[in-house]
Amino acid sequence: MAYAYLFKYIIIGDTGVGKSCLLLQFTDKRFQPVHDLTIGVEFGARMITIDGKQIKLQIWDTAGQESFRSITRSYYRGAAGALLVYDITRRDTFNHLTTWLEDARQHSNSNMVIMLIGNKSDLESRREVKKEEGEAFAREHGLIFMETSAKTASNVEEAFINTAKEIYEKIQEGVFDINNEANGIKIGPQHATTNSTLSGSQGGQQAGGGCC
Amino acid sequence: WRSIGLDVSDGPGHSPPSPRQSVRKNLDFEPLSTTALILEDRPANLPAKPAEEAQKHRQQYEEMVAQAKKRELKEAQKRRKQLEDRCKLEESIGNAAQTWNQEILPNWSAMCTSRRVRELWWQGVPPSVRGKVWSLAVGNELNITHELFNICLARAREKWKSMPTAPPTEPETEDASLSLADREASLELIKLDISRTFPHLCIFQQGGPYYDMLHSILGAYTCYRPDVGYVQGMSFIAAVLILNLDTPDAFIAFANLLNKPCQMAFFRVDHSLMLKYFAAFEVFFEENLPKLFVHFKENNLTPDIYLIDWIFTLYSKSLPLDLACRVWDVFCRDGDEFLFRVALGILRLYEDVLTRMDFIHNAQFLTRLPDHISPDQLFSHIHAVHMTSKNRKWGQVLQALQERNSPVLKR
């Protein structure tokens, strides 16, 4: 299917926080109480619409165990967005956020949009990390923040889509160089024909339907 | 005419007709059994059929019955053939098991390299002797005894006891002892991962019959090799061994399997060494499937994307379990080279599909292989993979790459 842009996402965070479940909920709209362990990396894809444009999300879902960091580090390359996930019922997964963030900042391009996610918000009775703590951490490090539940689907759409909106805004502001694929953004076939005139006015829209 | 109850031929105790069958009934199909069809004259309150029509109907009726009979005969023949095939298969498995038990296993060192045994081996080791064959083929270079296993297990249990219990219900556990955090995290992680190991089999999860065994092997291993510890992927290997061996022998096979150079490189996550394995794989990839190789290169689909899962779990997570066991059969015999040969076999089997898809579809396909893969087909593709490149074998290619100092593998 034709799309205007393709954004590469990476999902990171400690093992067992629900990264694969968030992805499954987002791409398939279902929840698996016991998900297979992720070894290395798995993939998801979905089309979303922002500002009337079709955007394809290509999502890299990584293994969370510390030992795999040296491998997953190479997957930051070319990511436009990252979902950094912790589990609100396990404080240690929140405590590790700083090292995840350092890793992400060091190995990605500086414009990568990072969304902090406190997952498992349905397990209120087992909560160990207050929502305010997540908000404070996000504010301090300049991240967007949301609490989600992969189980009930609460905020899952929003988390993925708001990240894309932020990336999209950065493109509009000219922060992202969309012609450099290392930024994790690819111009889709829908755009390709008008690509050469992209810098100028977009008046002479030809093929490609209602985009731009 | 009318058809009387469809279950005439089914005696009591047969399962009730499936919904599909009842749909058939409603659709006014001729019933399958000839006994269910009766030709009747018109009811008495209606005028009788003219002789000609009655004759025509009788003829039609006879044709139908004849056809139904023919079909039944065919069905019966098919069933008999299926049964024969199954018997033949069971017999051949039984025969093979007998050969393994009575001829090969007692004379292991003399016979295990013979051509006949190798051929039999390639066809898959019968499940009843699988564990024994794996144990013998993997060997016990580490000289691990059952006593050593028990000591390691006791030490692991000691640690579990000193660990705070059941964290999910008690919110305070994590802060208390940060000094022990790492080791405990590893033990905690084992628990978390066991529940995520073959979840669909429902036997390794807490309360399941194999939970304790899996827990024991992984725990004992972290005490046996604290320098390696628990690494994700191990639970799948231990689980497959448990399905074929009793716990102490499964531990011995587990520790010796992980001690092989390729497995050590991966489970210690020695990234630069892993890259050498991937680079060696690419040499044979290009040699065997040049077109697909170029296609993957053009799409930036690097081998780590699919090989990591395959190698870490020895295919037990990505292939159907019975097929994975067949891969293990030959892997135990041929070593790490076979793992990469299987990878090429998979790529070869799906070459046409893979050549037509883009990055994301290929990545998704390879990290989540189809549920049904024909073992014979896959093995014939594995067989067709040639593991020589410019007269060099796998080991030589790998060694040459390892001797070269800096790894040049860019993503």
* B123 Cβ neighbours under 8 A, 6+ residues apart: B96
Q: CATH number, domain at A63?
A: 3.40.50.300
Q: Do B205 and A41 touch (CB under 8 A)?
A: no
Please name the member of A37, A77, A127 whose beta carbon is closest to the beta carbon of B411.
A77
- Give B-chain residues touching A42 at CB under 8 angstroms: 367-368
Residue type, B272: S
A205 found inside a domain: no
CB B231 within 8 A of CB A67: yes
What pLDDT does residue A2 have? 86
Q: Pick the range with the lowest mean pLDDT from A165-179, B132-146, B297-311.
A: A165-179
Residues 253-292 of B with CB under 8 A from A: 269, 271, 274
Round to whole Å and give the CA distance between B221 and B247: 12
Fold for domain B142-259?
A: Helicase, Ruva Protein; domain 3 (1.10.8)
pLDDT in tens, B366-409: 999 999 999 999 999 999 999 999 999 999 999 999 988 654 55
What pLDDT does residue B12 have? 45
Q: Is A155 helix (H, G, I), strand (E, B) or coil?
A: coil
Round to whole Å and give the CA distance between B189 and B165: 13
pLDDT in tens, B93-130: 888 899 999 999 999 999 998 999 999 999 999 999 99
Of all residues in chain B, the percent with pLDDT exceeding 70 is: 84
- Give A-chain residues touching B232 at CB under 8 angstroms: 15, 37, 39, 63, 65, 67-68
CB B129 within 8 A of CB B97: yes
The position carrying tokens 């405590």 is: A95
Instruction: Report whether pLDDT(B251) > 80.
Output: yes
Q: What is the ipTM of this complex?
A: 0.86
CA-nearest residue to B205 within chain A is A34
CB A164 within 8 A of CB A57: yes
Round to whole Å and give the CA distance between B62 and B67: 8
Q: Pick the range with the lowest mean pLDDT from B180-194, B343-357, B364-378.
A: B180-194
- Give A-chain residues touching B167 at CB under 8 angstroms: 90
What pLDDT does residue A174 have? 85
Round to whole Å and give the CA distance between A37 and B190: 12
What's the average model confidence in pLDDT over B359-371? Answer: 96
Please, what are the averages of pLDDT over each run of 10 residues along chain A (212 residues)? 91 96 97 90 96 96 92 92 97 96 93 97 97 98 97 97 96 83 78 44 37 36
What pLDDT does residue B54 have? 87
Round to whole Å and give the CA distance between A49 and B401: 47
Q: Do A36 and B305 touch (CB under 8 A)?
A: no
A57 found inside a domain: yes
Q: Who has greater pLDDT, B395 or B16?
A: B395
The residue segments making up the domain with residue A151 are 3-185
Q: Do B232 and A74 touch (CB under 8 A)?
A: no
Q: Who has greater pLDDT, B164 or A56?
A: A56
Q: Pick the range with the lowest mean pLDDT from B72-86, B167-181, B321-335, B360-374.
A: B167-181
Please name the member of A43, A89, A95 whose beta carbon is closest to the beta carbon of B363.
A43
Alpha-carbon distances of B175 from A192, B170, B172, rounded to whole Å: 54, 11, 6
C-alpha torsion angle, residues B256, B258, B260, B263 (rounded to 10): 170
C-beta atoms surrounding B235 within 10 Å: 28
* B135 Cβ neighbours under 8 A, 6+ residues apart: B245, B249, B252, B253
CB A22 within 8 A of CB A159: yes
Please name the member of A16, A71, A91 whose beta carbon is closest to the beta carbon of B271.
A71
User: What confidence tier does B10 reach under pLDDT thresholds 50, 70, 90?
Assistant: very low
Query: Of B297, B267, B261, B298, which Cα lies nearest the Cα of B282?
Result: B297
CA-nearest residue to A94 within chain B is B174
User: What confidence tier does B45 reach under pLDDT thresholds 50, 70, 90?
Assistant: confident
Q: Which two tokens stand for residue B188?
A: 């905690």
A194 found inside a domain: no
The helix/strand count (H/E) of chain B reads as 21, 4
Round to whole Å and give the CA distance between B71 and B225: 65
What pLDDT does residue B13 have? 44
Round to whole Å and give the CA distance between A34 and A57: 25
Of all residues in chain B, the percent with pLDDT exceeding 90 is: 67
A210 found inside a domain: no
Residue type, B43: P
State the smallest CA–CA distance between residue A130 and chain B in angstroms. Answer: 12
b/e per residue A48-81 (b: at least 16 CB within 10 A):
bebeebbbbbbbbbbbbbbbbbebbbbbbbbbbb
Q: Do B317 and A70 touch (CB under 8 A)?
A: no
Q: Is A8 helix (H, G, I), strand (E, B) or coil?
A: strand
> What's the farthest any 2 CA atoms get from each other in chain A?
57
Round to whole Å and give the CA distance between B150 and A132: 48
Residues 175-204 of B with CB under 8 A from A: 175, 181, 185, 189, 192-193, 195-197, 199
State the smallest CA–CA distance between residue B232 and chain A in angstroms. Answer: 7
| Structural domains of chain A, count | 1
Fold for domain B264-409?
A: Cyclin A; domain 1 (1.10.472)
The position carrying tokens 């397990």 is: A123
Is the torsion defined by CA of B188, B193, B199, B201 positive or negative?
negative
CB A21 within 8 A of CB A151: yes
Degrees (nearest 5) of the Cα angle B264, A103, A24? 80
In chain B, where the domains are located: 1-8+17-35+53-139, 142-259, 264-409
Instruction: Report whether pLDDT(B361) > 80.
Output: yes
Round to whole Å and give the CA distance between B253 and B266: 17
Please report how many Cα atoms fall inside a 13 Å half-sphere around the Cα of residue B116, on the Cβ side.
Answer: 8
What pLDDT does residue B162 have? 78
A36 touches chain B (CB under 8 A): yes
What pLDDT does residue B184 have? 58
